[in-house]
Structure 1
Amino acid sequence: MEENAVLADAMRNLGYKQTELADAVNNHLRARGHEGTVGDRTVRNWLAGKSRWPHRRQREALESLFACTVEELGFSPPARRRTSTPPEAPVDRRNFLTAVTGTTAATTAPFVGAPPQVGTSDVIRLRSGLEDLVKVDRSRGGHESLERAALARAQEALAKQKLGATQRIRLRLFSVAADYTATAAWSAIDARHLERASHILDRALYLAGMAKDPVAEMQVWNLWAILAHHRNEYAEAVDAAYAAQGTAAARRAPLFASLAHARTAVGYADLGDRQAALRSLGHAREALAKADTTEPVPSWIAFYGPGELMALTSIVLDRVGDPAEAETASHRALASIPADFRRNRALATTRLALAQLHQRDADQACATVSTVFPLMAGHPIPGRTRSLLGDFHRDLIALAPDTPIAREWGDRYRSERSRTR
C-alpha cells in the first residue's frame, strides 16, 4: 500500500492539517445540501493510500478546495472504472468547435468559462524551489546572487496571479511570493546590506498581509527584529519581536513562539534589561519544550531548535555580563547545530570566542576564532559573520593591545578579510 505523498504535499503547502481538511470538505458538502461525513479517519485513509478513490461528492469538494483534479492530488480510480477511450486531443476539439461555429478563438486569451490556468501543482512547484535556496544559505550564507534568485521567484509567483487562478490559489501564490521575498530580505541582512533589506522587508510584510498568512507574517517580524538588532535600534527590535509573538502562528505553534521569545530576549539584552532578557529566555525554553518535533515546518525555520536557542542564549548572557555562562551555552550550541549549517556554526564559534575573550582568556579565544576561516573555506565570509569577527578584533585590541597573540591574530584577520571579500 503506497502512501499518497502528493496529497500530503498539497495539504502542507495550503496549510491544511487532517482535521482542517476534513472540516473544509464537510463545509463544502453542507453548502450544497449534502451531509458532511468526512472525519479525521477518512483523511488518514486518503494519506495512507487505503482509500485511493474518494466518493464522487468528496472528489468534487477536494477539486474545489485544491483547484486541481483528484488525479493531480495522487488519487486514481479503480481499474474497472478507467475508460479505454483515449482523451480527445485538444487540437481536435478546437478544430471541431471552429468547424461548427465558423469562428476561430484567439490563442492568447482564455475563453469565457475556461478552468483556471493556475492550480495547486503550480503552487507546489514554485514553493519547492525555496528549499534549494535555504540549502545555499545554510552553507554559504547571504549574498547578492541568492537575493536576486529569491526575488525572481517571488516575481514569478506574482505573475501567476494574472492567469485566472481561484481566490484560494491567489492567496497561496501571495504566500509563496512573501516567502521568497522574505528569503531575499534575509540574504540581504546576512550580507549586511541593511538598507536594502529594510525595503525588501516592507514588501514582504505587504505580501504576507495580502496572503493572510500568519506564518509568513511571523517570518517577516522575526527578520525585522534581526534587522533592528544589526542597526542598533534595540527598542525597535523588541517591538518587532513582540509583533512576532502576537502572530497567530506564534500563538498556535510553540516552535514559533519560542523563536519570538528568544528574539525578545536578545533585544532586551541589547537594551541592558537583564531581568527582562532572562525572563524572555525562560519563555523561549518553555515554549520549545512543548514543540512537536514530528510536525513538518517551513524550511526557513528549520534552523531553529535547541542548538540555535543555545546560540541565542550565549548572545544574551554575554550581553548581560555572564561570559562564563555564555561560553557554556556556546559549547552546547556547537554540539547541536548540524554540520551543514556552516554559517550558523561560524557565528556560534565566534560567539564562543567572544565569551572566552570577555573572561580575558585571549590565547584560547584567538585559537577558537581562528577555526572560523577553515569552516567557511570555499566561499566569501558573509557580512554578518565578518562584522562579528570585526567586533572580536576590536575587543581583543581593547583588552590585550600589546600582546603577541593580539598582533598575530590581527595579521591573520586582515589577511583573511581581504581574501574573503
Structure 2
Amino acid sequence: MPYARNAVLIAWMKTNGWTALELATALNTVITEVTQRISTRGELSEVTIRKWRSGETTWPQSKARMALERISGRSAADLGFLPPDRRKSRATPEEPVGRRTLLALASTAGAAALARSSPSVGASDVARLRQQLDTVNALDDQRGGHDRVEKAALTGAQEAVSLQARAATQRTRQQLFALAADFTATAAWSCVDAQERARARTHLDRALYLAGLAQDPALTLRVWNSVSMLAHQQGDHAEALAAGQAAKTTSVTRRDPLYASLAHARIAIAHAHLGEGRPALRALDLAAASLDKAEHGRPRPSWIAFYGPAELHALTAIVRDRLGDAVYAEAASFQALAVLPDSFRRNRALATVRLSLAQLHQGDIDQATATTANVFAEMRGAPLPGRMRSLLGEFHRDLITLAPGSATALDWADRYRTEWSRP
C-alpha cells in the first residue's frame, strides 16, 4: 500500500528553501550541540528526510523531533507527523486512497496559504538586524556590562531566530542564525563584564549552539574567548586555557591572522594566571607576530572592532604584571592608552586601572592613587561595570597591603568608597 506523503513538511521545506541534505546536516548539528556528543552512529541523512517526506516514517525519533522543532519553531505534529496513538486513524481499509489524497492536497493548500500570509525574510531584514547589533555593541563599548545591553541583545537574538523560519534562502537562514549567535554572545559578554556569571554561562552555551547552526567559526571563536574570560573570573584558569586553545583551533584563525592573534593573547593570559612564564611570553610573541600580518582595513564583524594593537598592549600589561614584571606592564599600559580610541571608553578606563596597578606594584603609591582618579573621570556619567569594580577592589587590597594606615591609603579609601557607591 502506498504511503501518504507528508505534504505539510514538503511545503514547509519548499517555503524555507531546505533541501533534504541541508536539513539533515542542520538537524545533526543541533543534536550534537544539545547532547554534547559527536558520533557518526545514528546520524540523520538525506534518506531519513526523504522517508519523512514520503510518509514512510510517520513519527521521527525523539532527538530528531527535538532538533526539527528547534529549527522550525513548530511541533512535529504541526509539520504533518502523526504520533503513534493517531497512526491507526491515518488510513483504514474503509478509507480509500482518494480520500488520503484529498487530505494531502488540503494540507498543502493550507501550508501554502500560511506561507503567503507570512512574507519571506531576505537581505533587508539581515541588514536591519546587523545595524541593530552594531548599535548594541557600540553601547557596550561606551557603558560596559549593563542590563540594558543584555536585554537589547537578547531581544535582537530572539527576533533573528524567529525570522529564520521564514528565510527566503538557506544563506539568509544561516545569516540570521549568525546574527542570533552574535546578539547572544553580546548579551553573554555584557554579563561577563558585569560579573553576572550564572547568566553569562547560560548565554554562552546558547551562543555556541547558534554559532554551530550558523556554521560561523568567527562567532565560535568569539564565544570561546568569552568563556576563557568567564573561567578566569571563576578562578578556573585551566578551563580558561582550554577555552583559549579551543578558540585557536577554529578555522577562522587560519584565514585571518587578527583572530589568531586574539586567541594567542587569550592563551598568554591563561598561562600567566597559572604562573607559566615561558609559555605565556611565547604566546604573546605569537599574538604580536599574527597581528603584524593582519590586514587592518579588512571588513569584519563589529564585535571584533575592540581588538588591535591597543588591546594587545593592554593584554600584555596583564600578562607582564601577573608574571611580576611591573615595569614592563606600566609601559604596555601607557602604550595601550596612547592608541586606544576615545569611543572605547570602558576599555580606556580598564587600561587606566591596569596602569595604576603596575605603578602600585613598583611601590609608587602616590602616583598609583593619582592615576586612579582618571578612571572615575573616564566613566563619569556611567555606572562602573562589575569587572571594573572588581579590579578597583584588587587595587584597594594591594594598596592596604603595601601601605597600611598611611595617609595616602586612607585618603584614597575615602574617595574609593564615594566613587564606588555613586550611581
Q: TM-score band (shorter)?
A: 0.7 to 0.9
Q: Which residue of 1 aligns with 2:422?
A: 419
Matched, 1:153 2:152: no
Matched, 1:301 2:304: yes
Q: Which residue of 1 aligns with 2:123?
A: 120
Matched, 1:311 2:318: no
The alignment partner of 1:302 has SS state of helix
Matched, 1:227 2:248: no
The answer on whether the counterparts of 1:116 and 1:166 sit within 8 Å (CA) in structure 2 is no
- Aligned-residue offset at 1:376: 0.2
The answer on whether the counterparts of 1:181 and 1:204 sit within 8 Å (CA) in structure 2 is yes
- Equivalent residue in structure 2 for 1:109, among 86, 109, 114: 114
Matched, 1:351 2:351: no
1:268 and 1:105 mapped to 2: Cα distance?
59
Distance 1:183 1:108, change over 3 A: farther
Q: Which residue of 2 aligns with 1:253?
A: 256
- Aligned-residue offset at 1:166: 2.2
Q: Which residue of 2 aligns with 1:292?
A: 295
- Aligned-residue offset at 1:161: 2.1
The answer on whether the counterparts of 2:165 and 2:173 sit within 8 Å (CA) in structure 1 is no
The one-letter code sitting in structure 2 at the alignment partner of 1:162 is A
Q: Which residue of 1 aligns with 2:221?
A: 218
List aligned pairs for 1:12-23, cutoff 5 A.
Answer: none
- Aligned-residue offset at 1:279: 0.3
Q: Deviation per CA, 1:311-353, whole angstroms, max 9, x where unpaired?
A: 0000000000100110000000000111111100000000000
1:108 and 1:305 mapped to 2: Cα distance?
51
1:242 and 1:252 mapped to 2: Cα distance?
17
1:266 and 1:363 mapped to 2: Cα distance?
28
The one-letter code sitting in structure 1 at the alignment partner of 2:161 is L
The one-letter code sitting in structure 1 at the alignment partner of 2:274 is L
2:122 and 2:284 mapped to 1: Cα distance?
42
Distance 1:211 1:361, change over 3 A: same
- Equivalent residue in structure 1 for 2:341, among 338, 351, 373: 338
Matched, 1:200 2:203: yes
Q: Deviation per CA, 1:86-135, whole angstroms, max 9, x where unpaired?
A: xxxxxxxxxxxxxxxxxx99997225xx9970112211111111111111
The answer for unaligned runs of 5 or more in structure 1 is 1-103
Aligned length: 315
Distance 1:119 1:235, change over 3 A: same
2:410 and 2:142 mapped to 1: Cα distance?
30
The answer on whether the counterparts of 2:258 and 2:291 sit within 8 Å (CA) in structure 1 is yes
Structure 1's consecutive aligned runs of 4 or more residues displaced over 3 angstroms after TM superposition are 104-108
2:417 and 2:113 mapped to 1: Cα distance?
59
Q: Which residue of 1 aligns with 2:393?
A: 390
- Aligned-residue offset at 1:400: 0.5
- Aligned-residue offset at 1:169: 1.5
1:345 and 1:329 mapped to 2: Cα distance?
13
- Equivalent residue in structure 2 for 1:140, among 136, 139, 143: 143
- Aligned-residue offset at 1:162: 2.4
Matched, 1:364 2:364: no
Seq. identity, %? 56
2:344 and 2:178 mapped to 1: Cα distance?
26
1:162 and 1:254 mapped to 2: Cα distance?
34
Q: Deviation per CA, 1:22-60, whole angstroms, max 9, x where unpaired?
A: xxxxxxxxxxxxxxxxxxxxxxxxxxxxxxxxxxxxxxx
1:320 and 1:239 mapped to 2: Cα distance?
20
The alignment partner of 2:341 has SS state of coil
2:198 and 2:111 mapped to 1: Cα distance?
46
2:392 and 2:330 mapped to 1: Cα distance?
17
Q: Which residue of 2 aligns with 1:281?
A: 284
- Equivalent residue in structure 1 for 2:174, among 171, 174, 180: 171
Instruction: Kindly report the root-mean-square deviation, in angstroms, between the aligned alpha carbons of the 2 structures.
Output: 1.7
The one-letter code sitting in structure 2 at the alignment partner of 1:268 is H
2:403 and 2:393 mapped to 1: Cα distance?
15
2:167 and 2:263 mapped to 1: Cα distance?
37
The one-letter code sitting in structure 2 at the alignment partner of 1:327 is E
Q: Which residue of 1 aligns with 2:183?
A: 180
2:414 and 2:162 mapped to 1: Cα distance?
51
2:235 and 2:282 mapped to 1: Cα distance?
22
Q: Which residue of 2 aligns with 1:27?
A: none
The one-letter code sitting in structure 1 at the alignment partner of 2:176 is L
1:153 and 1:142 mapped to 2: Cα distance?
17
The alignment partner of 2:298 has SS state of coil
The answer on whether the counterparts of 2:316 and 2:329 sit within 8 Å (CA) in structure 1 is yes
2:112 and 2:296 mapped to 1: Cα distance?
50
The answer on whether the counterparts of 2:396 and 2:413 sit within 8 Å (CA) in structure 1 is yes
2:217 and 2:124 mapped to 1: Cα distance?
22
The one-letter code sitting in structure 2 at the alignment partner of 1:262 is A
Distance 1:105 1:225, change over 3 A: closer
The answer for unaligned runs of 5 or more in structure 2 is 1-108
Distance 1:412 1:167, change over 3 A: same
Q: TM-score, normalised by structure 1?
A: 0.73
The one-letter code sitting in structure 2 at the alignment partner of 1:110 is A
The answer on whether the counterparts of 2:272 and 2:323 sit within 8 Å (CA) in structure 1 is yes
1:305 and 1:288 mapped to 2: Cα distance?
7
- Aligned-residue offset at 1:265: 0.4
Q: Deviation per CA, 1:74-93, whole angstroms, max 9, x where unpaired?
A: xxxxxxxxxxxxxxxxxxxx
